[in-house]
Structure 1
Amino acid sequence: MPPTDIRPRVIALVADLDTTRPDGPERLHHLDGREFTDAEYDLFANVTPDEITLAAAYKAPSVPDGLSERHSAAKALVGLFMKYATRALDDSLDAVLDLMTDEDYAQFEYLSARHRALSARDEDTPATR
């Protein structure tokens, strides 16, 4: 995963958003029912498309075997990232990587390379419809 301007705390916040509540967008809640604080509303108001994509990948259900290798690699990558994101001291990718064990960092590197390779392959393969 190349360095970007993603903020781990924002990804964690978006992943913890309860989208099933009938209150609508005027009242946002965590999955445990707590209402967002003013600071959380401020973070949420500035969420980027990349942060939404990562949070959605983290929350997505598992993909049946063989359906999408790229999606499976992305989900594993984001899951590993999120394991440390909520404990990061600041909103930088380096802060998250610094918390990883050597084993998890090696897995993160492997998954990043795998996802890049699968993405490149999918971009080079013409769509069949």
Structure 2
Amino acid sequence: MPSSVRPEVVLLITKLDLNHPDARKRPYHRDGRPFTRAERDLLTTFTPEEKTAAIAQIQLEAEWQRELDEMKNAFVDLLMKYFAKLAKGSVVSDAVAIMTDEDYTEFERLAEIVTAEDTLEYRALHEGS
């Protein structure tokens, strides 16, 4: 039996910005763009199964973002542990040079997922929130 869930409809539902100030009048994408007429027409045809699939997808994306945020924080924490031992103005390669084997393995794992620049920017924007 073919699936009754249309991926394009699920995607539209997941892109809805329900907090947009004008959301009661028309649907908006999370990036602020209003839905096109074709998107609005398609959105009005969603089924309960598609709504359920969209909710599940939104939950998966939220969990993925939480995990990514945790990895970014772990990456920064790992580097800061070594920067605390180094002179002001040191760079990542200085910290890597004095890491234990165990920490270096963790550094390599996390570095594939996040970069120091992205992570430090993230911490600067979200520290204390």
| Structure with max Cα Rg | 2
| Structure (1/2) with the larger helix percentage | 2
Asked if Structure 1 and Structure 2 have the same fold, meaning a TM-score greater than 0.5 normalized by the shorter chain, the answer is no
TM-score range, shorter chain: 0.3 to 0.5
TM-score normalised by L of structure 1: 0.44
